């Protein structure tokens, strides 16, 4: 399993398990907003990723209009800059 797949898998699993996103709704181009995450939920997502993967993002690094793809990319960038 590659690192890229691992981050994506983890984001998707977290969205399903912790944020009650329907698995069928998970597409790379779906936005957080479209998946039902409000602004507080996005900060919670950042906290969960930091806790689970050690990938630290600023509180404003993710925005409601960002897609799942963009989130995965932001987390991977954070991993590479460690």
Binding site for other proteins (CB under 8 A): 17-20, 40-41, 43-44, 47, 50, 59
Residues 76 and 28 sit within 8 Å (Cβ to Cβ): no
- Residue 51: exposed, middle, or buried by beta-carbon count in 10 A (0-12, 13-18, 19+)? exposed
Nearer residue to other proteins within complex by CB, 59 or 77: 59
Closest separation between CB of residue 48 and other proteins, Å? Answer: 9
Nearer residue to other proteins within complex by CB, 6 or 18: 18
Helix (H, G, I), strand (E, B) or coil at 31: strand
Nearer residue to other proteins within complex by CB, 5 or 13: 13
Residues 76 and 4 sit within 8 Å (Cβ to Cβ): yes
Closest separation between CB of residue 58 and other proteins, Å? Answer: 11
């Amino acid at each position: 399993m590659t690192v890229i797949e691992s981050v994506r898998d983890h984001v998707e699993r977290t969205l399903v398990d912790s944020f009650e996103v329907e698995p069928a709704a998970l597409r790379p181009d779906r936005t957080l907003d479209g998946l039902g995450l409000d602004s507080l939920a996005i900060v919670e997502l950042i906290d969960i990723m930091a806790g689970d993967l050690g990938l630290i993002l600023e509180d404003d690094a993710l925005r409601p209009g960002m897609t799942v793809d963009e989130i995965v990319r932001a987390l991977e960038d954070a991993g590479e800059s460690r």
